[in-house]
A and B are shown apart, each in its own frame.
Chain A
Amino acid sequence: MSPETLAALAKMGLWLAFLINVAPIMLWVERRAPAFMQDRLGPNRVGPLGFFQGIADAAKFIFKEDIEPATADRGLYLLAPVLALVPCLTTYLVIPFGPDIEVAGRTMASVVIDSDSGIFVFLALASLGVYSLVLAGWASNNKWSLIGAIRASAQMISYELALTLAVVAALVPAGSLHLGRVVDYQIGERLFGFLPAWGVLVQPIGFLVFLVAMFAETNRLPFDLPEAESELVAGYHTEYGSIRFALFFMGEYMAMAVLSALAATLYFGGWSLPGVDLMQLPGVLPALVGFVILTVKVAIFMFLFVWVRWTFPRFRYDQLMRLGWKVLLPLALANLVYVAALAVGGKL
């Protein structure tokens, strides 16, 4: 095997080790954190502080009976949960997690696909995520599932526009579609001479639009209308049980993690910390420490997801559409014009 292939496999292994652990850990957080918010204890019997609850739940999912509706479109019904994992297991490829490092005499970028169209690849693969929801809802042959699927397709298309426009504006200062260059810009520049030029400080409105669209794209409360358990039983995954439901579940948490990583990269300096020069470290350590820093930033976002879920009620469907098209989209456009004007005026 060539050294390039080995390096790519090593980098993918690092990401996979991270992503596989997201779902069980978040399962624990999602139960313990709201428990404390509501002044109760939450699951605390399995392992210290109930930390192994995720493993217990995984075992339960695997050994549960797998029931398949008789009227389902079998092929698509089985395909949908698998598709749920496709976007989150491919989009991380373009997210940088460290500076360029020297290994065995050659320079290596700390990103799996070192491409100039990086963010485009991310957006393209992420846009495929809607298929799993739509197919799950349609193939189940259940009216609740179908309504969930229709909601999912309309919602994700609507918020993708605002999300993409916010991303475009975030790329303007760096002048590149390569996410590594975006991070380099945020490290290199200073605002007013002392603040790091993090995207969130340059364009707070853009970040706000991105954040809201991010919640909608991952179908998290307050935008979880595709599953809306009080209206649609469980929406698009009503007819799924056992490990197939677990795949949807994992897909949702992994998508949250990858989008959080993108948010950290675009708006919070990615793998860098202000005042810390990772290049001082020897060997592959800069990439590993960068990955840890990125993981911490992702963890903060993940906690925000949980925090918001247990704080806000669900939107009504017409409110959701109004927010997406009449508030977020114009805001995203205005932000793009603002950032472009700053860039043309030489202020960035």
Chain B
Amino acid sequence: MELLAFVVFGLAALVSAIVVVAHRSPIHSTLSLVVTLVSTAALFLMLGSPFLAALQVLLYTGAILVLFLFVIMLLNVQRERTGAAARSPFQTWSALIAAFVLAGAVCRLLWDAHGEAVLAPLTEDFVALRNTASLLFRDYLLPFEMVGLLLLVAVVVASWVARRGGADSEEESR
């Protein structure tokens, strides 16, 4: 039963991930990404961490991808749909290199897991909510807060850039 669920969600995640890259319509790509993320959330659930699964659905599919959809719907998607938006060779090559690096890292991890160095197994205790919380807010408090600050800086800069670029149109709309 558990194996069946793993196979179903694993396959769903893989297939939809391929669709994300391969599909011509941005809306369908985004929706496939939703399927990918929900399937991975299901895998998290099977690993015994409902908290992580819920967080993934809440943040990624519930908030971030809705914003993606929002932006795509606001833009004129007809042009991209016909495939006129060509990819530059630089994009292709950097994507290929990144993919190889990632594949290498995953292979290395798998190798380690089956070789001498044994990765620490996930325990019920480790994924429990209380322990996750104390890890975040006690052991790694400073890095956690710094990530928050980093995100804040990113938001401020992004809104500044948007404001500067759209200064004229904003004047008009007032």
Chain A interfacial positions (CB closer than 8 Å to B): 76, 115-117, 120-121, 123-125, 127-128, 130-131, 134-135, 138, 146, 149-150, 153-154, 156-157, 160, 177
Interface size on B, residues (CB 8 A): 23
B45-89 contact mask (Cβ, 8 Å, vs A): 1 or 0: 000001101111110011100110110011000000000000000
A121 touches B34 (CB 8 A): no
Indicate whether A125 sits within 8 Å of B57 (C-beta atoms), given known contacts A131-B66, A177-B129: yes
B27 interface residue, CB < 8 Å from A? yes
- Apart from A134-B73, A154-B70, what are 14 other A-B pairs with CB-CB below 8 Å? A116-B51, A117-B51, A120-B50, A121-B50, A123-B58, A124-B55, A125-B57, A128-B57, A131-B34, A131-B66, A134-B70, A135-B31, A153-B69, A157-B67
Chain B: minimal CB distance from A291 (Å): 24
Q: Is the CB of B51 within 8 A of A134?
A: no
Report if B128 contacts A (CB, 8 A): yes
Question: Which residues of the other chain, A, contact B56 by a CB distance below 8 angstroms?
Answer: 124
> What are the residues of chain A within 8 A of B70 when measuring CB–CB?
134, 150, 153-154, 157
Complex alpha-carbon distance, A253 and B67, angstroms: 25
Contact of A160 among B62, B74, B128 (CB under 8 A): B62
Q: Please judge, given known A-B contacts A115-B50, A116-B128, A160-B63, whether A134 and B69 are in contact too, CB under 8 Å.
A: yes
Contact A128 B129 (CB under 8 A): no
| A127 and B62 contacting across the interface, CB-CB below 8 Å | yes
**In whole Å, how far is B44's beta carbon from the nearest beta carbon of chain A?**
11
| CB-based contact A157/B73 at 8 Å | no
15 contacts between A and B (CB under 8 A): A115-B50, A116-B50, A117-B50, A117-B51, A120-B58, A121-B54, A123-B58, A123-B62, A127-B61, A128-B62, A130-B62, A130-B66, A131-B34, A150-B74, A153-B73
Whether B129 lies near A117 (C-beta < 8 A) is yes
Shortest 4 CB-CB contacts between residues of A and residues of B? A127-B62, A120-B54, A124-B57, A124-B58
Closest to B50 in A: A117
Contact A153 B66 (CB under 8 A): yes
Considering only CB atoms, which chain A residue lies closest to B63 in the complex? A157
Q: Which residues of A contact B128 (CB under 8 A)?
A: 116
* B46 nearest CB across to chain A (Å): 14
Docked pose: A124 CA to B57 CA in angstroms: 5
Bound: A160/B67 CA distance, A: 13
B73 to A138, Cβ gap below 8 A? yes
Chain A residues positioned under 8 Å from B61 (CB to CB)? 127-128
CB distance from A104 to the nearest CB of B (A): 25
Question: Which residues in A have their C-beta under 8 angstroms from that of B73?
Answer: 134, 138, 146, 149-150, 153
By a CB distance below 8 angstroms, the chain B residues around A149 are: 73
Q: CA A131 – CA B31 in complex, angstroms?
A: 9
Question: Across the two chains, which residue of chain A brings its CB closest to B133?
Answer: A177
Give the residue name and chain of the B residue nearest to A177 (CB): B129
Inter-chain CA distance A150–B74, complex, in Å, is 8
Closest to B77 in A: A138
Nearest CB of chain A from residue B49's CB, rounded to whole Å: 9
CB closest residue in chain B, given A178: B129
> Smallest Cβ distance from B48 to chain A, in angstroms?
11
Kindly list chain B residues whose C-beta atoms are within 8 Å of the C-beta of A120: 50-51, 54-55, 58
- List, in ascending order, chain A residues with CB within 8 A of B74's CB: 150
CA distance A135 to B35 in the complex (A): 14
In the assembled complex, the Cα of A120 lies from the Cα of B129 at a distance in Å of 11
Q: How far is the CB of B159 from chain A (nearest CB, A)?
A: 13
Taken together as a complex, chains A and B put the C-alpha atoms of A160 and B70 apart, in Å, by 16
Nearest CB of A to B127, in Å: 10
- Which residues of the other chain, B, contact A124 by a CB distance below 8 angstroms? 53-58, 62
Shortest CB-to-CB span from A142 to chain B, Å, is 13
Give the distance in Å from the alpha carbon of A154 to the alpha carbon of B74 in the complex: 11
Closest CB of chain B to A62's CB: distance in Å?
29
How far in angstroms is the closest Cβ of chain A from B17? 19
Closest partner residue, chain B, to A123 (CB atom): B58
Say how far B89's CB is from chain A's closest CB, in angstroms. Answer: 33
Looking at the assembled complex, report how far the CB atom of A118 sits from the nearest CB atom of chain B, in whole angstroms.
Answer: 9
Q: Which chain B residues (9-54) contact chain A, with CB distance < 8 Å?
A: 27, 31, 34, 50-51, 53-54
- How far, in angstroms, from A131 to B35 measured CA to CA in the complex? 12
A124-B55, A124-B57 given; A138·B27 CB < 8 A: yes
Residues of B within 8 A of A160 (CB): 62-63
Q: How far is the CA of A115 from the CA of B51 in the complex (A)?
A: 9
Task: For B25, give the chain A residue with the smallest CB separation.
Answer: A73
A116: chain B residues at CB < 8 Å are 50-51, 128-130
- Chain A residues with CB under 8 A of B63: 127, 157, 160
- Which residues from A are CB-within-8-Å of B129? 116-117, 177
Which A residues lie within 8 Å of B51 (CB)?
116-117, 120
B64 to chain A: closest residue by CB: A157
